[in-house]
Structure 1
Amino acid sequence: MNNETEMFDVVINPQGQYSVWPQGKVMAIGWRAVGAGGERQACLAYIDEHWTDMRPRSLREAGVQRAAVGQ
């Protein structure tokens, strides 16, 4: 099956980073499906719409903490 017809799920890791994962393949440790799926381009469009801050969650939270203490 090629990428044109293969179906994917949108997945996310604990750092809030998104990816596509082939449907039916065992999920990689630390990733979970977000409930969106379909052809690769549809999944990439979902990611583009929902993943607006590319920084890992730990880096985003560190920035918020620094701002809260005035650094």
Structure 2
Amino acid sequence: MTTNPFEDEDGTYLVLTNAQGQHSLWPDEIAVPDGWDVALTASSRAECLAFVEEHWTDIRPTRTGAHA
């Protein structure tokens, strides 16, 4: 049976951020998508969740552009 790599409790993850300050847990064996940067290198799922909880305190996207 195949495990969903995004929900593997024992997997190793990255924390990614985008230009709007949004965060995402990302399996470390999958290439980082364009537009996202690594904010936390390969860590346990629990460590990544703790990082996101500490650093992403406002889930609203950052406003960018002339209409901000």
TM-score tier, shorter chain, comes to 0.7 to 0.9
Task: Write the deviation string for residues 18-71 of structure 1: whole angstroms up to 9, x where unpaired.
Answer: 011111211111111013431112101110001011110117x93xxxxxxxxx
Letter in 1 for 2:44: E
Using structure 1 for the length normalisation, give the TM-score.
0.72
Higher helix share: 1
Aligned length: 61
Extract unaligned runs of 5+ from structure 1: 63-71
CA RMSD in angstroms comes to: 2.1
Residue 34 in 1 paired to residue 34 in 2? Answer: no
- In structure 1, the residue matched to 2:63 is 58
Letter in 1 for 2:37: R
Using structure 2 for the length normalisation, give the TM-score.
0.75
SS of residue matched to 2:63: helix
State how far apart, in whole Å, the 1-side matches of 2:13 and 2:34 are.
17
Indicate which of 5, 16, 22 corresponds to 1:17.
22
After the TM superposition, which parts of structure 1 deviate over 3 Å for at least 4 consecutive aligned residues?
none
Extract unaligned runs of 5+ from structure 2: none
